[in-house]
Each structure stands twice: as C-alpha cells, then as structure tokens.
Amino acid sequence: MKTVLKMGASAALCLGVLAHPAFAEDNIVKIGVVAAESGSFVSAGHTLPAGVGLAVKQINDAGGINVGGKNYKLEMVKRDDRTDIATAIAATQELVRDVKVQAIFGSETHDFTLAMAKITQPAKIIHFAGNSTLAKILTPDSVKPGGEDHYLFQSEPQEFQRSGSTARGVLTLLEPLLGYKPKKSVMIVGNDATGQFLSSYYFKALKAEGQDVPDIIFYPPDTTDFSPFLTRAKSLNPDIIHFWYNGDSTLTALPQALELGAAKSYFLFGVDPGIWKEKQLSADVPVAMSCVPVCWGESSNPKAKAYFDAYFAAGAPHGVTSSVSLLYHDYVHFLAEAWEKAGSFDPDKTVEALLTLHHQGVVSDDLTFNPTHQVTHATEVCAAAPGGAISCSMQQPPAEAPKS
C-alpha cells in the first residue's frame, strides 16, 4: 500500500513541474503577514492583512514589479496568530522556513513582534512592524550590517515624533473650541505594554508644549467602570483629559466622563472620526481625536479618501483601528520600489535601497527611513466641536526628542 502511495505522489509532482514553466515569465514573490484575526486583539488584526492585500492587488494590477530585468507578481501569504505568542512564532517559522517569503509584515502586538524578529533577522528576511515600541531594540549598532536587527523596519514614527505632533495638534485644535488656552492636562492610560511605553513620551510631549500634567492615571486593561479614575481626574480640574490608547476602552470611558463632567474637553487617541460619526457619538464639550496615521472618517489628507474608499470596497470592516492599515500599505509599495531600484531580492541590497529611497505614499509624499530604520511622518488630529462639526489637520513632528 505504501509504495503505491509513493508512486502516485511523485507522479503528481512531475506533472506539477511540467505545468509550471508554462507561466515562466510571471514568477511569484511571496510576502508574509502575521496578524491577530481571532482572540482578544482581533480589532487591530483585521486591518493589517487588509492594508497589505490592497497594496499587493494594486501592484499586480499595474503589471507587477520588474526586478533585474524579470517581471514578478506579488502574493500575500497571511497567517492568524490568534493573539497567542506560540501561534505567532509557529506562523513566522512557517513563513520564513517553509513558505520562504521575501518579507514579513506584522504583528500589531508589540511583544509578538520582538519574538518574531528573533526568527526573521537571522534568516535575513525584511521585516516591517508598525510598533513604535521597537525603538527599544532599533539602536545604531543593532541595525548596522551584521547587526541583529539589520533587516527590521519600524513603519510607525518614533514615539517622541508621534506624541509630539499629536500633543501639538490636540492643543492647537482645542484652543479655539474652548475659547482659551488650555493649561492643565490629565492622562488616563491602560496599564499594559503599549500604554506604559506610549504614556512616558506623550507626557514629555505635553510638558514640552507647556502643559501642566499633574497625574497619569493607569487603569487595569479590562476595566469597564471608569468612574473612580475619572473622578480622581476631575478632582484635579483639568482643561483636557487625554485617553490613551485602546479605542474600545476609550469609547467605554467617554460617556462616563461626560456624565461626571470630569473635564472641559477630551482627547481620544486612536478613535477615528469615522467611528464618531458611525456611532452617532456627541458631546457637550469639545472632543479631539487622532488617528494612526491618517483618519478615514474625515481627513485633511487628499489621498486618504481615495485610499479608504478602495480599502473598505475590498471588504475590510469599519473598525476603530482601520487607519492602522496605512502603517503597512505604504510600505508594501515602498518595498516594491526598493526591489526595483536594487534590481534584486538580495536582502542587504534591498535594505540599502530602503534607506536611500524617498517614497511617495498615501500618508506623506516623502516617506524615508532614518539611520535606525524608523520612518518619520506627520500625524492627523481632528477635533469635534460641541455642535458636531469636525475639522482635521496634519501635524508635523518635532525635530528631536524634548529634553528631560
């Protein structure tokens, strides 16, 4: 019985090989995606493959890419990490060693990316991740050739830049709606990996803008009743309460804040005007919102509307984090351009090309990576007046990190 099986299998293989050359000139370049399409982090997980998938489709529709004189079509190979680190590791091992992808995008969960990098980097696979928390491992000597993160790229601005531009945007947009210059801010942040990391930068950014920030209030990640935290914030009678970073928790906390009249205005990080409109949210005080990197409900970025129309048309769900897809979409195009410029898929030549190119993306017309493989671009902040009118503007990041 066994031998028969063996014969059948090998026959099929030969046929496969024979069939293959018929499409010789359209070789396939595989791009891997690891994201949480189930489990607790699912809200961020759906956006990543949708963003990459749209870029791959656009590139293939335009005839694919021409590398070293040969034409290639891209193929996205996506894996669900189920918000479980062991599954993320297994998916990465498969993509790197079995499927042999040329590049990997993901994941949205900070500590999964760190574990995945330990597999992609030794295998010289270009790895893009939209976690500003990668700053911890992207140091000058870790990214130099031969370093342990030479092929790792952070497709989200450095945290001091994102926080700086966000803080500046929130304050400038809320001032006209408040009718006076806000002076005191209180931050309410989820007590998890991302929350702890981001809040230290945003706190410094607010201080750099001259804000008095008497308290950062950390709440346990799965909190539903925010009233004690909000009352504590109210006791400091702040001009603005800044909610960081999880959209779902923020939307749970806002009605309770309005009920308590905790502050004169609010800032909801990671809540898109699109969600604000869709859920018909309203507030009797000004509310600022920011999107990473560009908003889909309302945007001052001309290309954003076209992108999101195509993005949602492709079937992606309207989510709190739909804009996160842009942290990956632009960089598929960027990578394709780098391959064409390098004229080969050799990882080192590709990294060189990525570091020298100025790519025209949706988020900005001049996307470049700095020497430590981190991108720099503006962040969009919007503000909703009590009446409901929403205005947005792109905020340029500060040149370098604030002192102290």
Strand order in the sheet with 240-244: 212-219, 184-190, 240-244, 265-269, 287-291, 379-384, 390-395
| Smallest distance, other proteins to C-beta of residue 189, A | 10
Q: By CB under 8 A, name the one of 38, 172, 360, 396 that touches other proteins.
A: 38
Q: Which stretch binds other proteins (CB under 8 A): 251-259, 344-352, 355-363, 371-379?
A: 251-259
Question: Half-sphere exposure of 28 toward its Cβ, with a 13 Å CA cutoff?
Answer: 12
CB–CB of 127/112 below 8 Å? no
DSSP string, 133-167: GGGGT--HHHHSTTSTTTTEEE-S--HHHHHHHHH
| Smallest distance, other proteins to C-beta of residue 208, A | 24
Q: By CB under 8 A, name the one of 57, 77, 89, 184 that touches other proteins.
A: 89
Q: Which residues contact 341 (CB under 8 A, 6 or more apart)?
A: 353, 356, 357
Judged on CB neighbours under 10 Å (0-12, 13-18, 19+), 368 is middle
The C-alpha atoms of residue 375 and residue 96 are separated, in whole angstroms, by 24
Q: By CB under 8 A, name the one of 35, 187, 251, 375 that touches other proteins.
A: 251
Residue 217 lies near other proteins (rule: CB under 8 A): yes
Q: Which stretch binds other proteins (CB under 8 A): 1-9, 32-40, 160-168, 321-329?
A: 32-40
Residue 228 lies near other proteins (rule: CB under 8 A): yes
Residue closer to other proteins (CB basis): 231 or 344: 231
Residue bearing tokens 């991302």: 194
Residue 323 lies near other proteins (rule: CB under 8 A): no
The C-alpha atoms of residue 310 and residue 288 are separated, in whole angstroms, by 26
| Beta strand segments in 193-316, E | 212-219, 240-244, 265-269, 287-291
The two three-digit tokens of residue 5, written as one number: 């099986």
CB–CB of 269/246 below 8 Å? no
Residue closer to other proteins (CB basis): 210 or 255: 255
Residue closer to other proteins (CB basis): 152 or 362: 152
CB–CB of 197/110 below 8 Å? yes
| Smallest distance, other proteins to C-beta of residue 235, A | 4
Residue 388 lies near other proteins (rule: CB under 8 A): no
Question: How many residues line the site for other proteins (CB under 8 A)?
Answer: 55
| Smallest distance, other proteins to C-beta of residue 107, A | 12
Q: By CB under 8 A, name the one of 172, 252, 368, 370 that touches other proteins.
A: 252
Residue 39 lies near other proteins (rule: CB under 8 A): yes
Nearest CA to 53 among 384, 338, 329? 329
| Smallest distance, other proteins to C-beta of residue 22, A | 27
Residue 93 lies near other proteins (rule: CB under 8 A): yes
Residue 105 lies near other proteins (rule: CB under 8 A): no
CB–CB of 115/85 below 8 Å? yes
Residue 77 lies near other proteins (rule: CB under 8 A): no
H/E element, 79: strand 70-80
Judged by DSSP in three states, 308 sits in: helix
Q: By CB under 8 A, name the one of 3, 18, 63, 224 that touches other proteins.
A: 224
Residue 154 lies near other proteins (rule: CB under 8 A): no
Judged by DSSP in three states, 332 sits in: helix
Residue 133 lies near other proteins (rule: CB under 8 A): yes
Residue 235 lies near other proteins (rule: CB under 8 A): yes
Site string for other proteins, 254-283 (x = CB under 8 A): -xx--xxx----------------------
| Interface with other proteins in residues 176-215 (CB under 8 A) | 191-193, 195-197
The C-alpha atoms of residue 378 and residue 398 are separated, in whole angstroms, by 10
Binding footprint of other proteins on the chain (CB under 8 A): 38-40, 42-43, 80, 82, 85-87, 89-91, 93-94, 96-98, 110-111, 114-115, 118, 122, 133, 137, 191-193, 195-197, 217-220, 222-225, 227-229, 231-232, 234-235, 248, 251-252, 255-256, 259-261
